[in-house]
Amino acid sequence: MPEKFDVIIVGAGPAGTSCALTCARNGLTVLLIERGEYPGAKNVMGGVLYRQQMEELIPEFWKEAPLERPVIEQRFWMMDKESVLSFGYKGLEWAVEPYNNFTVLRAKFDQWFAQKAVEAGALLINETVVTECIVENGKVVGVRTDRPDGEVYADVVVLADGVNSLLSKQLGFHKEFRPDEVALTVMEVINLPKDKINDRFNLQDNQGCTIEIFGDSTKGNLGTAFLYTNKESLNIGVGTTLSSMIKAKLKPYELLDYLKNHPMVKPLIDGGESAEYLAHLIPEGGFRSVPKVAGNGVLVVGDAAQLVNAIHREGSNMAMHSGLLAAEAIIEAKKRGDYSETSLNSYREALYNSFIIKDLEKYKDAAHTFEKYPQYFKEYVPMMNQAASKFFTVDGTPKRDKQKEIIKSMTAERGTLRVLQDIYRAWKAVK
């Protein structure tokens, strides 16, 4: 192994691999370090990959990448104990190239993606834990690993080591994240024959469906559940903020079992065989939790920089784009021969001018609002289901009278002023 690289990247997830691929293509010497047995072994996401940011890195990647299904339908469920108020969009334009997004299995996809970086010239080392950054004269100059003689040096170190980035914490870029800034998500992969998936979700071969679930899926606590179709399996999972889990004394595996046995979900997974069980922390703090992302000889990308938009279930695309932006900043820094914070701060500027930070800023108050005011999940979702049941039940009552009854019942529970305040507060949090 060379004594020194241009770039060392810690973590072979979407952010780290994106950075490694871009740097290697531009002639930089790159070391990509992964703690798992292989890239994807310890990476977890619900399983949706957006096309745009991936195609910026590998044009027409869908022709060779190990993808599951192009998503042609996105559903949203407001779930009560025995009902669901559903809405969404299904479009056949998403069933043809260049597609919109795909379901993926990370263990397969991350290996393929990392191999692309290797083919471009990056050196990938698996099963290696980076224990700390090496700092000399206030500048990060390398990393120390758990291997014998495990010190490796570089002009720039990129931290792509996930939500609980111990390395950026060691550098003082952030403090310990609060329980309301991270969510714990548990997910299960359930094997199910392709024909049953197609029949139950009204799909054809090479067509996928995603369902995002709110309300009773988390027992009224802040969080979401999901159900995604793969070729011959389903991804089902649920997550809540750690603070909600602690307050409600929830156990993650019990919450997943509750979801799987819900009468709206159980028929969709019936007869399936459990293939894999995963748990992972997800950044939930959003804009207000983004740490320092550039320093002397170091950059922070992806989950380690809290770059997740939970409202739109976007994470991997933000990770990839942040990795690309970091690589571009490193390439320019090499041309200048300057790896100081001032030089590398071009990454921060590009990040804050991108859709990533702009979207996070738009929703900066959303998670805090919905956790501080639990009535949105605990009261309004059941109200919506009850209102739909009343309205669509044909019992001889005129529809205008039904509308009046529904409005009266909703305002009777919380009061007209409170309902209006809640509507305004929610609108303000997501506008």
> Poorest-confidence range of 64-78, 101-115, 365-379?
365-379
180 and 284 Cβ atoms separated by less than 8 Å: yes
238 and 217 Cβ atoms separated by less than 8 Å: yes
> Poorest-confidence range of 108-112, 329-333, 408-412?
408-412
Q: How far apart are CA 165 and CA 7, in angstroms?
A: 18
The pLDDT value given to residue 281:
86
Of 203, 264, 277, 273, give the one whose Cα is nearest residue 233.
273
Under CATH, what is the fold of the domain 5-66+105-174+291-353?
A: FAD/NAD(P)-binding domain (3.50.50)
Confidence of residue 408 (pLDDT cuts 50, 70, 90): confident
Domain coordinates of the chain in residue numbers?
5-66+105-174+291-353, 367-430
Residues 40-68 have a mean pLDDT of 88
Q: How confident is the prediction for the chain on average, in pLDDT?
A: 93
The pLDDT value given to residue 3:
78
The pLDDT value given to residue 311:
85
Residues 43-68 have a mean pLDDT of 89
Residues in a beta bridge with 240: 184, 223
Q: How far apart are CA 47 and CA 386, in angstroms?
A: 32
The pLDDT value given to residue 254:
92
The pLDDT value given to residue 414:
80
| Sequence-distant (≥ 6) Cβ neighbours of residue 218 within 8 angstroms | 224, 225, 238, 239, 240, 244, 255, 377
The pLDDT value given to residue 46:
61
Quote the Cα angle for 382-384-390, to 5°: 105
- Residue of higher predicted confidence among 256 and 409: 256
Q: Tokens representing 384?
A: 């919506």
CA dist 7 → 84, 109, 118, 325, 338 (Å)? 50, 23, 14, 14, 13
265 and 82 Cβ atoms separated by less than 8 Å: no
Residues 257-280 have a mean pLDDT of 94
Q: Is the pLDDT of residue 40 over 90?
A: no
Q: How far apart are CA 145 and CA 129, in angstroms?
A: 6
Confidence of residue 312 (pLDDT cuts 50, 70, 90): confident
| Sequence-distant (≥ 6) Cβ neighbours of residue 172 within 8 angstroms | none
Q: Is the pLDDT of residue 119 over 90?
A: yes
What pTM was estimated for this model as a whole? 0.93
Q: How far apart are CA 136 and CA 132, in angstroms?
A: 13
The pLDDT value given to residue 43:
66
Of 165, 413, 182, give the one whose Cα is nearest residue 293.
165
Q: Is the pLDDT of residue 149 over 70?
A: yes
Q: Is the pLDDT of residue 411 over 90?
A: no
Per residue in 223-240, pLDDT (tens digit) is: 999 999 999 999 999 999
The pLDDT value given to residue 44:
61
> Poorest-confidence range of 192-206, 232-246, 401-415?
401-415
